[in-house]
Amino acid sequence: MLYLLHKISEKLSFKPSKKALIVIVTLIFSISGLFYYFFVRPPADFPLNTIYSIEEKRTLSEVANGAKKDNIIKSSMTLKVLITLFSRNKGAISGDYILNKKENIFQIAQRLAKGDYRLSAVKVTVPEGYNIYEIAELLSKKDDLRNFNQQEFISLAKDKEGYLYPDTYYFLPNIKSKQMIETMEENFNRKVLPIQKDVKKFGKTFKEVVTMASILEDEVPKSEDRKIVAGILWKRLEKGMSLQVDAPFYYITAKPGNFTLDDLKIDSPYNTYKYKGLPKGPISNPGLEAILDTITPINTPYWFYLTDEKGEMRYAETYDGHLANINKYLR
């Protein structure tokens, strides 16, 4: 620093004494230190490990004043100047910023000017056959999804049951329930687009196919068995028989484990023992394979089926044969 001041003084034909140079250097360092302390360094109560949100259409002054109020910076004026210098649009980019370490005003200004959110995606795998309540429960257990509201998700997704594709997703921690649902629904539409012609050719409405697929997804684990059961259930519908499938009761009661005889009496449009035809709508979110199995049923002489204690499917042509299977495999 002394050498630099000496060179400057030579250019200006001004030769201060060594003592004067020391005073100047001390003064510069003092001013720099004060500037750093009062304007640059992060506040002592910087909101560490939080997400700071900037809403759309906020002015630069509103952003700067808000950041100062929330103890992210010390000087709103300095932040405004720096963002203006760093940003092409002379403003801060809206969104949610993770504050995982203390940063000075230059670093904050660069992030707001560039939209550097520093959010790591959260991996979420939704299994085939999960309904919206199970998906909401799954998401609620992801601690990194800080803003997730389980009841809000269920409320927004209740009309989307069956159409939220089970898959692996990478959600940002600040994602809203509405965005999650839209992402899963868009994925569903992409997945089923190639088979839309096959569904139409099958002769059932798309809702009927998805509803049946949701039942098969929950009732039968293997694809080949799903095709056989699909043949059985479509035959029952054609003959005007009750479907009498068990899977909807887990949706009706939202209870784990086996349902009871009292559950069979529940007055619900999903109760396929009480009401003929398909349930009111899908009872879960089926994968593409289950949808394909639904429209490619295997025609057999069977009218009844059950799953034994080892998870194997047992079929019968008559009700007496079905009762025999119950006595043999479930008692």
Answer yes or no: is pLDDT of 266 > 90: no
- Reported confidence tier of residue 63, pLDDT bands at 50, 70, 90: very high
Residue 92 or 37, more confident: 92
Instruction: Please give the average per-residue pLDDT across 188-199, as a whole number.
Output: 94
Largest CA distance in the chain: 115
Range from 5-19, 71-85, 127-141, 183-197 carrying the lowest mean pLDDT: 5-19
Instruction: Please give the average per-residue pLDDT across 66-86, as a whole number.
Output: 91
Distance of CA 66 to the CA centre of its chain: 29
pLDDT at 5: 47
Tell me if 124 sits within 8 A of 168, measured CB to CB: yes
Instruction: Please give the average per-residue pLDDT across 67-72, as a whole number.
Output: 92
Domain ranges for the chain? 2-40, 50-114, 122-192, 193-329
Tens-digit pLDDT profile for residues 127-147: 999 999 999 999 999 988 878
Exposed, middle or buried, 5 (CB in 10 Å: 0-12/13-18/19+)? middle
Residue 19 or 141, more confident: 141
Answer yes or no: is pLDDT of 7 > 60: no
Tell me if 123 sits within 8 A of 57, measured CB to CB: no
Would you give the DSSP letter of residue 195? G
- Reported confidence tier of residue 224, pLDDT bands at 50, 70, 90: very high
What is the chain's mean pLDDT, rounded? Answer: 87
Tens-digit pLDDT profile for residues 236-260: 999 999 999 988 888 888 766 566 7
Phi, psi of 307 (to 5 degrees): -110, 125
- DSSP assignment of 171-185 equals E-TT--HHHHHHHHH
Instruction: Please give the average per-residue pLDDT across 102-113, as a whole number.
Output: 91
Tens-digit pLDDT profile for residues 47-56: 988 878 898 8
Tell me if 302 sits within 8 A of 321, measured CB to CB: no
Percent of the chain exceeding pLDDT 70 equals 87
Instruction: Please give the average per-residue pLDDT across 278-287, as a whole number.
Output: 95
pLDDT at 119: 78
| CB half-sphere exposure, 34, CA atoms < 13 A | 6
Name, in order, each residue with C-beta under 8 angstroms of 185's C-beta and a sequence gap of 6 or more: 160, 163, 164, 165
Instruction: Please give the average per-residue pLDDT across 29-44, as a whole number.
Output: 63
Distance of CA 55 to the CA centre of its chain: 21
- Residue carrying structure tokens 């969104």: 95
pLDDT at 258: 66
pLDDT at 123: 93
Residue 147 or 111, more confident: 111
Instruction: Please give the average per-residue pLDDT across 283-306, as a whole number.
Output: 96
* CATH number for domain 122-192, candidates 3.30.460, 3.30.1490, 3.40.50, 3.30.420: 3.30.1490
Residue 109 or 27, more confident: 109
- Reported confidence tier of residue 174, pLDDT bands at 50, 70, 90: confident
Distance of CA 312 to the CA centre of its chain: 34
Instruction: Please give the average per-residue pLDDT across 64-87, as a whole number.
Output: 91
H helix or E strand, kind and range, residue 293 = helix 288-294
- Reported confidence tier of residue 2, pLDDT bands at 50, 70, 90: very low
Q: pTM (2 decimals)?
A: 0.71
Instruction: Please give the average per-residue pLDDT across 193-201, as a whole number.
Output: 93
Answer yes or no: is pLDDT of 314 > 80: yes
pLDDT at 6: 55
Phi, psi of 22 (to 5 degrees): -65, -40
